[in-house]
Amino acid sequence: MTGPAGTELGPVQCRICGGDVHGFLDLGRQPLSDAFLDPGGDASGEFFYRLAVGLCGSCTMVQLMEEVPRERMFNADYPYFSQGSAVMREHFRATARRFLEKEASSESPFIVEIGSNDGVMLGTVRDAGVRHLGFEPSGSVAAVAREAGVAVREEFFEAATAKAVREEYGPADVVFAANTLCHIPYMGSILEGVDVLLGPDGVFVFEDPYLGDIVAKTSFDQIYDEHFYFFTATSVQQMARRGGLELVDVERLPVHGGEVRYTLARQGARTPSPAVAELIEQEEAARLHAPETLRGFAEAVAAIRGDLSSLLRRLKEEGRTVVAYGATAKSATVTNYCGIGPDLVARVHDSTPAKQGRLTPGAHIPVVAPEGFSEPYPDYALLFAWNHADEIMAKEQGFREAGGKWVLYVPEVRVV
């Protein structure tokens, strides 16, 4: 793959198996997706890296080709809170209830979450009186969980920290991670930690964006610094085997634009569900891991960039007012890849207090509270939080009633 300046990308070494990773998509120079800036500060030191994606020809794992240091991404000021969406609150509470019903059957059950964020899932476990522990290295969200009575270790999960927990708490019935495992390049240490911590009949469950949905929907904004891996049943099955585990179940989830929940157990401990073979067969039929499929995806991404940029420039020339809704992490990919700045989008409305009053990474678009969305309504609103479209559009019915129109870009650019 050749980058924008004509320089070759790759191959690089696969972080799972050591094979060659060949690039198929280059999204150019990008900032940290959650590093919102103080408008009065000095932006000259803003961190940028090259966002490119490749496929391992050996184990089929799709992954970033340049790693961003974890301490830069997940720090004390990390601004994402899981409980910010009503849909996600209920999703995680239902997940906790499911674990309590189906997996917490030992004499003194113990549930561990990697990347526990503000504790919305473990809060339900706490309310049931079940032993639990969250690993959350980002101080701001860990503090919220701790204040709610959730047990948290403010550190990264890896082999060494897992050993310390096993010595203090004993084995875990469940190790869970949501929208976290795909963030972690050092997968060998994670799997070693799971092997140490997991009880003989325990399960390691994680849910993350699904490559099949990303390709089908051309949802290229799912690709940003925090998402290092893009899992499939095929690649997870191979990854599990390398860690002494077995993929025993998969479940498609509608959240975050399309995810899969993977359940791993010790080899031979559980009979794999037919769903595993079915999803792998679907991936083979769709040629999901074929280089030509992924090159076609890259071409569709480039087409969206052209269409979205053209639309926004036309609206500017017509004198239309355009704002955005949802200062999501993935919106950094869109704004910086498509060249969208405050000249095309005046502001971004977002409900997260930690983001309000700041500027978006790289593009430097002001972030304001959603309460000002109607003062007055804009002509158009670019919906960055498209995965919460139903929830947001229901909340902002007045916008449509006032003649406002939403701009969407997944799976193609359109105005509704």
Q: For residue range 242-293, list pLDDT tens digits in order.
A: 999 999 999 999 988 899 999 999 999 999 999 999 999 999 999 999 999 9
Q: Identify whether 179 is part of a domain.
A: yes
**Tokens describing residue 110:** 């113990």
pLDDT of residue 1: 57
Q: Is 388 exposed, middle or buried (0-12, 13-18, 19+ CB in 10 A)?
A: buried
| Tokens 């051309």 found at | 218
Which of 34-48, 261-275, 370-384 is least confident? 34-48
pLDDT digits (tens, 9 = 90+) for 336-375: 999 999 999 999 999 999 899 999 999 999 999 999 999 9
Rounded CA-CA distance 270/246 in Å is: 9
My answer on whether 97 and 108 are in the same domain is yes
pLDDT digits (tens, 9 = 90+) for 81-98: 555 578 889 999 999 999
My answer on whether 281 and 304 are in the same domain is no
Mean pLDDT of 219-238: 97
Strand partners, 207: 178, 261
Final residue of a structural domain among 291, 323, 346: 291
Rounded CA-CA distance 384/324 in Å is: 7
My answer on whether 201 and 253 are in the same domain is yes
Q: Identify whether 45 is part of a domain.
A: no
Written in H, E and C, the secondary structure of the chain is: CECCCCCECCCEECCCCCCEEEEEEEEEEEECCCCCECCCCCHHHCCEEEEEEEEECCCCCEEECCCCCHHHHCCCCCCCCHHHCHHHHHHHHHHHHHHHHHCCCCCCCEEEEECCCCCHHHHHHHHCCCEEEEECCCHHHHHHHHHCCCCEECCCCCHHHHHHHHHHHCCEEEEEEECCHHHCCCHHHHHHHHHHHEEEEEEEEEEEEEHHHHHHHCCHHHCCCCCCEEECHHHHHHHHHHCCEEEEEEEEECHHHCEEEEEEEECCCCCCCHHHHHHHHHHHHCCCCCHHHHHHHHHHHHHHHHHHHHHHHHHHHCCCCEEEECCCCCHHHHHHHHCCCCCCCCCEECCCCCCCCCECCCCCCEEECHHHHHCCCCCEEEECCHHHHHHHHHHCHHHHHCCCEEEECCCCCEEC
Q: Directed axis angle between helix 187-197 and helix 233-242, to 10°? A: 70
Q: What is the mean pLDDT of the chain?
A: 93
Mean pLDDT of 183-190: 93
Q: Identify whether 159 is part of a domain.
A: yes
My answer on whether 130 and 183 are in the same domain is yes
My answer on whether 172 and 118 are in the same domain is yes
My answer on whether 221 and 101 are in the same domain is yes
pLDDT digits (tens, 9 = 90+) for 285-310: 999 999 999 999 999 999 999 999 99
pLDDT of residue 327: 97
Rounded CA-CA distance 29/388 in Å is: 27
My answer on whether 251 and 324 are in the same domain is no
My answer on whether 272 and 329 are in the same domain is no
Domain of 407, CATH number, reads: 3.40.50.720
Rounded CA-CA distance 357/349 in Å is: 10
pLDDT of residue 44: 87
Q: How far apart, in Å, are the Cα atoms of 403 and each of 350, 390, 400, 406?
A: 21, 18, 5, 10
pLDDT of residue 82: 56
My answer on whether 274 and 320 are in the same domain is no
For the entire predicted model, the pTM comes to 0.91
Final residue of a structural domain among 273, 291, 309: 291
Rounded CA-CA distance 67/72 in Å is: 11
Q: Identify whether 16 is part of a domain.
A: no
pLDDT of residue 141: 87
My answer on whether 173 and 205 are in the same domain is yes
pLDDT of residue 77: 54
Q: Identify whether 35 is part of a domain.
A: no
The HSE-up count of residue 74 (CA atoms within 13 Å, CB side) is 21
Task: Give the length of the chain.
Answer: 416
Q: Identify whether 165 is part of a domain.
A: yes
Mean pLDDT of 377-383: 98
Give the chain's radius of gyration (CA, Å): 21
My answer on whether 210 and 319 are in the same domain is no
Q: Identify whether 40 is part of a domain.
A: no
Strand partners, 260: 208, 252
What's the total number of domains in the chain?
Answer: 2
Task: Report phi then psi at 345, rounded to 5.
Answer: -130, 115
Whether residue 385 is predicted with pLDDT greater than 50 in this model: the reply is yes
**Tokens describing residue 68:** 């961003």
My answer on whether 167 and 224 are in the same domain is yes
Structural domain range at position 318: 292-415
Amino acid at 14: C
Final residue of a structural domain among 260, 275, 291: 291
Domain of 185, CATH number, reads: 3.40.50.150
Rounded CA-CA distance 208/78 in Å is: 19
Q: Identify whether 395 is part of a domain.
A: yes
Residue 291 burial (CB count, 10 A): 12
